[in-house]
Amino acid sequence: MKEQLEKIYSDAASDIEKAVTVKDLEDIKFKYLGRKGEFNEIKKKLKDLSDEDKRIIGSRANEITKQLESAISEKFQIFYEQELNKKLEKERIDITLPGQYIPRGSVHPLTSTTNEIVAIFQNLGFSVAPNEESPEVETEYFNFDMLNVPKDHPARDMQDTFYTNIAKNVVLRSQTSGAQVHVMENQKPPIRIIAPGRVYRNENINSRKNNFFHQIEGLYVDKNITFGDLKGVLNEFIRLYFGAVRPTRFRSSFFPFTEPSAEVDVQCIMCEGKGCRTCSGTGWLEILGAGMVDPNVLRGVGIDPDVYSGFAFGMGIERLAMLKYAIDDIRLFFNNDLRFLEQFKK
């Protein structure tokens, strides 16, 4: 039995010697030291021996088991490290390689201009009307009728307004002013809102006109609102937007939904009033339309014009951005030419 034991020992030792993978070692461990392994078979037979032999062979068996276990685990450790090193070598990262260039986008200048204008009016106490009160696809009711635009007004012509074939009187809105009607139908005064958004007009496209552009509408309705409030708010807006007090001019004008109406000019920021190409030699740049809400409009939405009054304004966002950044062609906003857009990276 002793010889048998030593034979197993030398077989196992030579198997361990020959092992080249972790898997080989696992197989060896199973074959010799496992529950049904060769050593256990021997140990089971110990009980048939004399006490003396039991002691000698038993202790030799334990000794061999320990030696094999430690030989296996030593070799296991070596294989483990070798495999780890191989893996590390394969996954090595060269930190000196230049990084991959990921182009970074930026906010579109019309978006940042809109955000800037919205923030100014929010600071003046206006809030942005909910989207559903400022839809781009409108009925004539909101875009014209309730704004006191006569049935035969030229702005309604197919040449100016895009009619859809959803229904006879469904249009792509030609102005954000319809938001005024939505808001006044849904809220009671005091009302102080702005509504930014896209508008559409059937225009021949050139450097100053596109067939869609963006406006911001404003509306303030309360008791005792006067033209003085309108001037104060708009002058303050101009000061904050252009970064300095600039001479302004309120020119008498006409809009069906305001009475009196005005167009507001700001002194040309290119020539400071001397007259240049940007201002067509006049020294002034028109930036918005405004006025006191017409009593007919208030009555239409059930607000008593003897109790309440209000002012409204609408401004073109492209125009304001073009003036601030000296952009001479409105089409640049819509071409998605990166050479243009990248100039607005912050």
Q: Which residues fall within 8 angstroms of residue 1, CB to CB, at 6 or more apart?
A: 42, 45, 49, 53, 57
- The amino acid occupying position 315 is M
Beta pairing, strands 137-139 & 248-255:
unpaired
Which of 37/178 has CB closer to ligand DAH? Answer: 178
Site membership for ligand DAH, residue 144 (CB under 6 A): no
Token code pair at residue 61: 């068996």
Q: Is 331 in contact with 180 (CB distance < 8 Å)?
A: no
Token code pair at residue 249: 């001019």
Which of 68/297 has CB closer to ligand DAH? Answer: 297
Binding mask 22-51 for ligand DAH (x = CB under 6 A): ------------------------------
Which of 217/318 has CB closer to ligand DAH? Answer: 217
Per CB under 6 A, which of residues 199..218 are in contact with ligand DAH? 217
CA pair distance 74, 183, nearest whole angstrom: 82
**How many residues contact ligand DAH, by CB under 6 A?**
11
* Residue 318 C-beta: closest distance to ligand DAH, Å: 13
Which of 184/290 has CB closer to ligand DAH? Answer: 290
CA pair distance 183, 219, nearest whole angstrom: 9
* Residue 217 C-beta: closest distance to ligand DAH, Å: 6
Among 20-28, 35-43, 72-80, 289-297, which window interacts with ligand DAH (CB under 6 A)? Answer: 289-297
Token code pair at residue 150: 């006569």
* Residue 153 C-beta: closest distance to ligand DAH, Å: 12
CA pair distance 161, 175, nearest whole angstrom: 10
Binding mask 226-265 for ligand DAH (x = CB under 6 A): -----------------------------x--x-------
Site membership for ligand DAH, residue 178 (CB under 6 A): no
Query: Which phi and psi (to 5°) does residue 173 adopt?
Result: -55, 140
Q: Is 38 in contact with 29 (CB distance < 8 Å)?
A: no
CA pair distance 142, 197, nearest whole angstrom: 15
Which of 61/230 has CB closer to ligand DAH? Answer: 230
Among 243-251, 287-295, 326-334, 337-345, which window interacts with ligand DAH (CB under 6 A)? Answer: 287-295
Q: Is 290 in contact with 258 (CB distance < 8 Å)?
A: yes
What are the helix and strand counts (H, E) for the chain? Answer: 11, 9
Site membership for ligand DAH, residue 289 (CB under 6 A): yes
Per CB under 6 A, which of residues 292..331 are in contact with ligand DAH? 312-314
Binding interface with ligand DAH (CB under 6 A)? 175, 177, 217, 255, 258, 289-291, 312-314
